[in-house]
Chains A and B, each alone.
Chain A
C-alpha cells in the first residue's frame, strides 16, 4: 500500500457508514489493480489515479449499494466509463469514435434497475415454472443467498453447473417477462 500512500480514500474517517466502510476496504484492497487497469487505458499514471479517486467518490454517492452485490465490479465499471469519457474529451471532434457511440460512457443504472411490482409478481410465478434443479439452485443462491459452492455441495453438482442453472433461470424468466409463453421461452432457451 505504500506506493499509493498519497492516494487517500475519499470520505476517510469521517464517513464510517457501512457503505463508506466497504468502499474504503475496496480502496485499500484493490486500488493498485484499479490504477493499473486505468493506466493501461489512459496511458498516464496521474490521470489513472485521478480517475480511480473519482470512481470511489461516485461509488460513495450511490444510495442503494445494498442492492449492488457486485460492488467491486461496479467500481471498475464506473472507472472504465470515466476513463472512456476522458479519452473521448481529448479527441478532436472530427475524429470519429469507433466504439459503439452512446451508452459506453454512463454506467448502467444499477439503482434504478428494478422490476415493477406487477413484473415482480410475474417473476415469482415464473420461478415456479422452472425445472426443480434449476429452481432450487436459483432460490438457494438468490433468495437464501448461499454462495454458489454451497449450493453446489447441496445439489451434488459442480459450481459451474450451478452457475449454468442460475443463468438459465434468469433467462427463462426474462423471456417470460418479455411476453413469451412457457413453451416458447423454453424453446428459445434451448436454441443452441
Chain B
C-alpha cells in the first residue's frame, strides 16, 4: 500500500470498474468479477471506496452551482439516424440537467430567522426556510410556500397562503395557536404538526399532542386529531374533514428532502413537485390526476422520477417550454 506504483495500479483498476459497471449493458459476468475483485483484497475494496465520492460528486445535490464546462465537440456522423439518436440523447440529458439545476433545497442547517409579531414569510422553489415565531414556537416553511402571522392580538394567528409548513408550538393555554389554510382552521395548544395546502385540499398531520381541525366557516364540524393522525379537508369533495391513522414521519419527510407517498393521487403529487422546480409539470387529462402513487420521491431526483413515470403509468411525457406535460399514452 505504501508503494505508489502499486497504489496507482489498484486505483486504476477501481476507476476502470466504476466506469464499466455504469455502462449500459454491463454483463452479469462482469459484475460477478467485480464482486470477486472486491472480495479478493481489502485494499481493492478500499481503493474503490476512495474513488467513489469523486465518481458520484455530480450525481448528488452538491452538483448544483458551478459545474465544469467543456466545449462539446459534436462528432460528425455519416449515419443520420445515429445523429438523431445522439441529439435526442443530448436533448434529454440537457433537459434533465436543466431541471436539476432548478432544484435547490437549502437544508434546515440555515439559521432560522426570527419573525416580528406581524410578518410574512415566503420561500423560493425548492427552498426550505426555518423560522422562529415571536412566542418561541418554531416553523419550517416548505418549498414555494407563503404564510403570514399576526401575533399582536389575543390569538396566535397564522395563515398559510400557499404550500406547506411544519409547526412546533410553544404551549400557551391562554393564547391558542390558530392556523388558517384555505377553508380549514387548525387550532393547537402545545403540539407539533404539519399543514399542507395543495390543489384545493388541506392535509394536517399531527406529530405530537393534538390539534382541532374545522372548516374555517363553521366551528361545529370540528374534529380532534392527535399524534399519528391525519386530517384532510377538501370542501369540493366532502363537507366534513376526514380523519385517518398515518405514520407522521412520512408526512414530515419533506424536511429531509424526501417526499413519501402512500396511494397518493398524481394530481396532488404534481402540485407538490411544482413547488420544487421552475419547470412545471402539467397533467393533460384530469383522469390521469386520479392515478394513485406509492413510493418515495427524492426532491433532488425529480427529473429522474418524471422520466420514469411512463414505466409506472400509461402516460408519456411531452416537453414543452418550461413545462413537462404528462399525457395519456
Contact = CB atoms under 8 A, between A and B. Distances in A.
A104 B298 contact: no
A14 B294 contact: yes
B108 to A, nearest CB: 16
Interface stretch (B41-49, B141-149, B213-221): B41-49
Contact of A73 (B21, B60, B72): B21
Nearest to A33: B28
B51 interface: yes
Given A18-B308, A76-B35, A163 B20 contact: yes
Interface in A1-56: 14-22, 25, 30, 33-34, 37
A120 to B, nearest CB: 5
A179 interface: no
Contacts of B34: 73, 76-77
Given A76-B35, A147-B23, A191-B8, A110 B52 contact: yes
Contacts of A30: 28
A28 to B, nearest CB: 12
B38 A77 contact: yes
Interface string A82-107: 00100000000000000110011000
A110 B298 CA distance: 16
B53 interface: yes
Given A16-B312, A33-B28, A113-B49, A140 B57 contact: no
Interface residues of B, number: 72
B58 A143 contact: yes
A25 B308 CA distance: 12
Interface in B74-116: 74-75, 77, 86, 89-90, 93, 96-97
A70 B16 CA distance: 13
A142 B55 contact: yes
B287 interface: no
Contacts of B75: 153-154, 156
B258 interface: yes
A174 B19 contact: no
A59 interface: no
Interface string A64-75: 101101101100
B73 A188 contact: no
A150 B55 contact: no
Given A21-B311, A30-B28, A67 B59 contact: yes
User: Which label, helix, strand, loop or mixed, suits the secondary structure of the A interface?
Assistant: helix
B11 interface: yes
B1 interface: no
B119 interface: no
A72 B24 CA distance: 11
Contacts of A25: 311
A27 B14 CA distance: 26
Interface in A131-163: 135-136, 139-148, 150, 153-156, 162-163
Given A103-B42, A188-B7, A70 B48 contact: no
A174 B50 contact: yes
B73 A191 contact: no
Contacts of A99: 39
B62 A139 contact: no
Given A66-B304, A147-B24, A167 B16 contact: yes
A21 B295 CA distance: 10
Contacts of B308: 18, 21-22
A63 B51 contact: no
A101 to B, nearest CB: 9
Given A70-B21, A73-B21, A108-B45, A37 B32 contact: yes
6 contacts: A70-B26, A73-B26, A104-B45, A110-B56, A143-B68, A170-B51
Given A17-B296, A18-B312, A167-B15, 8 more contacts: A17-B294, A84-B39, A99-B39, A145-B96, A155-B73, A170-B54, A174-B51, A188-B4
Interface of A: 14-22, 25, 30, 33-34, 37, 63-64, 66-67, 69-70, 72-73, 76-77, 80, 84, 99-100, 103-104, 108, 110, 113-115, 117, 119-120, 123-124, 127-128, 135-136, 139-148, 150, 153-156, 162-164, 166-168, 170-171, 173-174, 177, 188-189, 191-192
